[in-house]
């Protein structure tokens, strides 16, 4: 079962029930639990359910998270907005820490198996971001019940995964957990080079941003704790070398100098009726030119295939986090392999140069002379895709993950193109992003993963995280609080005309990101949390 096509037409508004006590009873399956609004409902017009599992059913407890939830009651005035925060922020801790333990061969090596939500598998991208939602609370600690320990466990397990199958994106429970590997019905038809072991890998889509996610979670841990020594202890350095080796191998172009078709380090085909679930050209993907300095990505962060493989947002993200992670290697000094740090600084810089050289194109809709924008994908031969997709890394999120700033003029043009609701003089205002969705429920960026008509709340959250405009932020908050179909959780996508049609009732990353955004607003724009969001 791949993470696709889960359009759920749930008539949740009618299905309110009270959980009652589950003491002595087994805990409900959160996939089912999250499809109904539970009492007490929030004291606002949207009557949002209370969606946290009972305390004894939560998968990890952190006092700092509980005290943040309590203290935010006085920072958020609107009862529905506060309820959404209460439900969403702790979602990964409440529901997705499927197992935490230590490695069989080393009792000091912590391991954390974090599921994406509704599938019992750990995505590199999701788990890095699920952890990031708590980054503002992270501090150094050796306690095994701490957030720092949770982070170390994620980093160690990701390192193990990347040493096993660096081209893959989603993984099975570690053997130490005793949890049965999940069945991926879609993957049974996969023909992939290099091959993978399905008892260890849930899905093997090569995505550059999955490699970047390992750098992200590592940099986040180091920046908050200053604990460089941890990175020298287990398999982090070898995993990092594997990441670099994998990424640079994927700079291989399609053709050699004399026209021969070069062997691609990675190929993927699947028997499917969805074109985004397989690669063109018998698993090679669309041709890529030589010497661009960019790294290919076979799939996007939506797990959909790229149309053109030089996927700019992941190159941006990889460049940024390489630079951040190189600081750890610098700090390790002589205990890190010689030249590793300078290789990372060098690649980070050359990727940035390559993005500026090949990743900026002219948006033909932006006035008579056109405007330079970041392309979503290019091939180095001259073709480009102008669009954005909701999943991070997206173009919209480039300042959020640190590649650029919101005052970058190219980013500003790009943002105007992506957010096709931004009127620009002389234009058909709906022209530039084919995946911008409109409707009475929500206006926002969607993507081919759930298709036209479905906007992704994640993109509305990113829009807030990358905006300094109070009106824009208020409008997006209003959209988010009013489009959960009364469930009080952040869904993957929402039908722009009917909010009872949404996808993924249990998507922990998007919930955590909502919490992260609210905490960011508390720092940047506290007054906006003090206003009402009632209709």
Ligand X SMILES: *[C@@H]1O[C@H](CO)[C@@H](O)[C@H](O)[C@H]1NC(C)=O
* Binding test (CB under 6 A) with ligand X, winner from 2, 12, 34, 44: 44
State the minimum distance, in angstroms, from the CB of residue 145 to ligand X.
Answer: 8
3-state secondary structure 424-468: CCCCCCCCCCCCEECCCCCCEECCCCCCCCEECHHHHHHHHHCCC
Q: Which of 254/319 has CB closer to ligand X?
A: 254
Q: Which of 89/299 has CB closer to ligand X?
A: 89
Q: Which of 324, 317, 272, 271 is nearest to 294 (CA)?
A: 317
Q: Spell out the residues 6+ positions from residue 276 whose beta carbon is closer than 8 angstroms to its own.
A: 302, 304, 305, 448, 449
Please write down the long-range contacts of 51-55, taking CB distance under 8 Å and 24 or more positions apart. 51/87, 51/487, 51/488, 51/489, 52/86, 52/87, 52/90, 52/94, 53/27, 53/28, 53/94, 53/95, 54/19, 54/21, 54/22, 54/27
Q: Which of 44/380 has CB closer to ligand X?
A: 44
State the minimum distance, in angstroms, from the CB of residue 61 to ligand X.
Answer: 4
Q: Which of 130/450 has CB closer to ligand X?
A: 130
Containing 495, the helix (H) or strand (E) segment is strand 493-495
* Binding test (CB under 6 A) with ligand X, winner from 61, 238, 353, 405: 61
Q: 360, 386 in Cβ contact below 8 A?
A: no
Partner residues linked to 203 by β-bridges: 170
Instruction: List strand residue ranges (DSSP E) for 322-473, in order.
Output: 360-363, 371-374, 377-378, 384-385, 436-437, 444-445, 454-455
* CA atoms within 13 Å, Cβ hemisphere of 509: 25
Return phi, psi of residue 261, to 5°: -85, 120
State the minimum distance, in angstroms, from the CB of residue 262 to ligand X.
Answer: 7
Structure tokens given for 457: 């709340």
State how far Cα 481 lies from the chain centre.
21
Give the per-residue contact string, 270-309, with ligand X (x = CB under 6 A; - = no). Answer: ----------------------------------------
Q: Which of 56/281 has CB closer to ligand X?
A: 56
Q: 470, 526 in Cβ contact below 8 A?
A: no
Q: Is 508 helix (H, G, I), strand (E, B) or coil?
A: helix
248 near ligand X (CB under 6 A): no
56 near ligand X (CB under 6 A): yes
The span from the CA of 457 to the CA of 245, in Å, is 35
Instruction: List strand residue ranges (DSSP E) for 46-118, in order.
Output: 97-103, 106-114
For 280, 384, 430, the CA distances from 424, given in Å and listed in that order, are 36, 22, 10
State the minimum distance, in angstroms, from the CB of residue 54 to ligand X.
Answer: 8
Q: Spell out the residues 6+ positions from residue 140 whose beta carbon is closer than 8 angstroms to its own.
A: 148, 224, 225, 226, 227
Q: Among 104-112, 170-178, 252-260, 419-427, which window interacts with ligand X (CB under 6 A)?
A: 252-260
82 near ligand X (CB under 6 A): no
Q: Which of 153/444 has CB closer to ligand X?
A: 153
State the minimum distance, in angstroms, from the CB of residue 441 to ligand X.
Answer: 21
Q: 82, 73 in Cβ contact below 8 A?
A: yes
Q: Which of 11/26 has CB closer to ligand X?
A: 26
535 near ligand X (CB under 6 A): no
State the minimum distance, in angstroms, from the CB of residue 260 to ligand X.
Answer: 4
The span from the CA of 141 to the CA of 143, in Å, is 5
18 near ligand X (CB under 6 A): no
327 near ligand X (CB under 6 A): no
Q: Which of 21/407 has CB closer to ligand X?
A: 21
60 near ligand X (CB under 6 A): yes
* Binding test (CB under 6 A) with ligand X, winner from 32, 43, 67, 188: 43
Q: Among 58-66, 370-378, 385-393, 483-491, which window interacts with ligand X (CB under 6 A)?
A: 58-66
Give the per-residue contact string, 484-523, with ligand X (x = CB under 6 A; - = no). Answer: ----------------------------------------
Q: Which of 41/518 has CB closer to ligand X?
A: 41
Q: Which of 393/486 has CB closer to ligand X?
A: 486
As a whole number of Å, the CA-based R_g of the chain is 22
258 near ligand X (CB under 6 A): yes
55 near ligand X (CB under 6 A): yes
Q: Among 195-203, 256-264, 363-371, 476-484, which window interacts with ligand X (CB under 6 A)?
A: 256-264
Question: What is the phi-psi region of residue 191: left when phi exceeds 0, alpha when psi lies from -120 to 50, beta otherwise?
Answer: beta
63 near ligand X (CB under 6 A): no
* Binding test (CB under 6 A) with ligand X, winner from 21, 74, 260, 334: 260
> Number of residues in contact with ligand X, rule: CB under 6 A?
12
25 near ligand X (CB under 6 A): no
256 near ligand X (CB under 6 A): yes
Residues contributing to the site for ligand X (CB under 6 A): 43-44, 55-56, 58-61, 256-258, 260
């Amino acid at each position: 079962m791949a993470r696709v096509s889960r359009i759920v037409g749930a008539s949740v508004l009618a299905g309110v029930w009270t959980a009652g006590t589950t003491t002595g009873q087994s805990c409900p399956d959160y996939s089912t639990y999250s499809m109904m609004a539970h009492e007490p409902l929030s004291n606002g017009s949207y009557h949002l359910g209370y969606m946290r599992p009972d305390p004894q059913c939560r998968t990890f407890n952190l006092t700092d998270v509980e005290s943040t939830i309590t203290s935010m009651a006085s920072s958020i005035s609107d009862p529905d907005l506060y309820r959404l925060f209460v439900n969403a922020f702790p979602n990964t801790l409440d529901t997705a820490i499927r197992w935490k333990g230590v490695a069989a061969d080393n009792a000091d090596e912590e391991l954390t198996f974090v599921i994406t939500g509704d599938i019992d598998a750990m995505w590199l991208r999701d788990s890095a971001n699920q952890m990031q939602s708590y980054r503002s609370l992270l501090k150094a600690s050796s306690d095994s019940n701490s957030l720092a320990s949770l982070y170390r466990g994620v980093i160690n397990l990701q390192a193990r995964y990347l040493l096993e199958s660096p081209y893959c994106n989603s993984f099975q429970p570690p053997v130490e957990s005793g949890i049965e590997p999940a069945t991926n019905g879609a993957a049974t038809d996969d023909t992939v080079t290099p091959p993978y072991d399905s008892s260890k890998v849930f899905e093997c889509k090569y995505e550059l941003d999955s490699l970047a996610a390992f750098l992200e979670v590592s940099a986040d841990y180091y920046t908050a704790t200053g604990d460089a020594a941890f990175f020298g202890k287990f398999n982090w350095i070898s995993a990092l070398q594997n990441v670099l080796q994998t990424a640079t191998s994927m700079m291989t172009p399609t053709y050699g100098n004399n026209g021969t078709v070069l062997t691609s380090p990675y190929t993927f085909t699947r028997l499917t009726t969805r074109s985004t679930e397989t690669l063109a050209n018998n698993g090679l993907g669309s041709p890529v030119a030589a010497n661009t300095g960019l790294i290919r990505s076979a799939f996007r962060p939506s797990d959909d295939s790229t149309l053109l493989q030089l996927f700019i947002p992941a190159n941006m993200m990889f460049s940024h986090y390489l630079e951040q992670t190189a600081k750890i290697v610098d700090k390790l000094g002589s205990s890190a392999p010689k030249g590793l740090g300078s290789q990372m600084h060098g690649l980070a810089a050359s990727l940035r140069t390559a993005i500026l050289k090949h990743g900026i194109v002219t948006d033909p809709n932006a006035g008579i002379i056109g405007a330079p924008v970041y392309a979503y994908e290019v091939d180095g031969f001259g073709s480009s895709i102008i669009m954005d997709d909701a999943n991070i890394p997206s173009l919209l999120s480039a300042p959020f993950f640190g590649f650029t700033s919101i005052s970058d003029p190219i980013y500003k043009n790009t943002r105007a193109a992506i957010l096709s609701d931004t009127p620009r003089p002389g234009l058909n205002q709906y022209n530039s992003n084919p995946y911008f969705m409109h409707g009475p429920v929500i206006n926002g960026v969607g993507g081919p993963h759930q298709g036209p008509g479905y906007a992704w709340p994640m993109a509305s959250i990113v829009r807030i995280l990358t905006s300094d405009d109070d009106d824009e932020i208020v409008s997006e908050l209003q959209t988010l609080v009013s489009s959960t179909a009364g469930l009080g959780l952040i869904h993957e996508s929402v039908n722009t005309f009917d909010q009872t049609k949404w996808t993924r009732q249990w998507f922990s990353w998007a919930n955590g990101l909502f919490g992260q955004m609210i905490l960011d607003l508390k720092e940047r724009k506290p007054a906006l949390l003090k206003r009402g969001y009632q209709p």
